[in-house]
């Protein structure tokens, strides 16, 4: 889980640093609210997302001088094949909805639109 959730983002970002610097590019990591809260999905997942978020903050500061923006999107529960076994349990879904201001589960498209916005020039001051 460490290799998938955090190390891969770190190594990919580091390898792309030169190209990102030349093009004033951006890095957008996909984390989870689990990086800063507890949703009972397990310590290893939470730890890797917390590490990704700290790495994102650190790289945003370290690479900002190079004109590279670094952001993370940290969604709450999104309906995916991975979350469907949990969300298909009525008590679990009710608990998620109860603590979600919009009273619903998110959709993958909503995360994708957020990532797309962060990649646009319209987000040029967000890091």
Positions marked catalytic: 45
CA distances from 8 to 1, 80, 99 (A): 10, 21, 31
CB-based contact 34:45 (threshold 8 Å): yes
């Amino acid at each position: 889980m460490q290799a998938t959730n955090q190390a891969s983002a770190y190594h990919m970002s580091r390898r792309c640093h030169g190209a990102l610097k030349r093009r004033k590019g951006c890095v957008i990591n996909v984390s989870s609210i689990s990086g800063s809260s507890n949703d009972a999905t397990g310590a290893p997942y939470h730890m890797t997302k917390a590490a990704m978020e700290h790495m994102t903050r650190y790289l945003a500061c370290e690479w900002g001088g190079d004109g590279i923006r670094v952001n993370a999107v940290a969604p709450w529960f999104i309906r995916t094949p991975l979350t469907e076994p949990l969300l298909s349990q009525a008590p679990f879904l009710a608990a998620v909805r109860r603590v979600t201001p919009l009273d619903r589960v998110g959709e993958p498209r909503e995360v994708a639109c957020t990532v797309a916005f962060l990649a646009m020039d319209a987000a040029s001051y967000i890091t």
